[in-house]
Amino acid sequence: MKILSDFELSVDPDEVNLHLEKSAASIPPGSNKELLKQIFGLIDLTTLSEQDNIENVSLLCDRVNQQVDAYPDMPSVAAICIYPELVAVVKEKLDNPLISIASVGGGFPASQTFTNIKVMEIEQAIIQGAEEIDIVMPVGKFLIDDLEYVDYEIQVIKQRIGSVHLKVILETGSLKDLSHIRKASLLSIGAGADFIKTSTGKISPGATPEAMVVMCCAIRDYYNRTGKKIGIKPAGGISDTRTALLYYHIVKEILGEEWLNRERFRIGASRLANRILGEYFDQGPDFGYF
């Protein structure tokens, strides 16, 4: 956990507000279809319902497969994100090799189970075909300052999954204070996260622009010191194009053009993909393809 002693952990609210103002001011007026097209290619198309099953996940894969012919001007989404049990369904049904298979894991969404059980679940998901794993930082332990355990658990999981991309969800809506979000960001990065992610989407608030700014600043500071680029993924309640554009410009403002690709920036969403298609093809906000 040496990383926490290497960085300033406090957050300047004025700096956060300045980044938000600059990012909001950068959003072009009216519809920018080319930018929406780029954002579409950064989406982790997500279904994480207790009602998910072979049928609805197979249908989602069919729609993703058909998108190439239905909307050839649009890029593919970056990934499909599902529960571990349904990874095998996506592995079987998904045709496009450019789309990653992402699985939540590790006792998602509460992360309230034993570390060895988390590891077993994640390893099983990878055996079934998962190429990316989204876990939740053990928020309860973080809140009582058991940072050694948080660090240990993320390290163990990353060591066991090796080159598989690990996204660590901070559940920023439960952390409240911006300095806690910065500390959780740096702690997760130091423990081995390839991406840090705002939220599960299971609590309110989910992603917020303020949390996104703080997380991007932590990634920037880590990069400036180490030269290592960590990815960022806002998720939780991102359903309209204006919000997606704001998050895009926050990343551009703080981290720069080098992060504006699917290797470094994802947006976890379900409804957003339809909203972008509806706006891009002038079909209205209720356009429902997926």
Write the DSSP symbol of residue 261: S
In angstroms, the CA 20 to CA 42 distance is 21
Question: Quick check: is 233 catalytic?
Answer: yes
In angstroms, the CA 278 to CA 23 distance is 24
In terms of Cβ atoms closer than 10 Å to its own Cβ (0-12, 13-18, 19+), residue 52 is middle
The type of residue at 170 is L
Question: Quick check: is 22 catalytic?
Answer: no
Q: Which helix (H) or strand (E) holds 101?
A: strand 100-105
Q: Are 240 and 7 in contact (CB under 8 A)?
A: no
Q: Which helix (H) or strand (E) holds 269?
A: strand 267-269
Q: What angle do CA 88, 93, 98 make, to 5 degrees?
A: 95
In terms of Cβ atoms closer than 10 Å to its own Cβ (0-12, 13-18, 19+), residue 227 is exposed
Active-site annotation holder among 44, 118, 134, 194: 134
In angstroms, the CA 94 to CA 80 distance is 9
Question: Quick check: is 93 catalytic?
Answer: no
Active-site annotation holder among 118, 158, 167, 233: 233
Question: Which residues are tagged catalytic?
Answer: 134, 197, 233
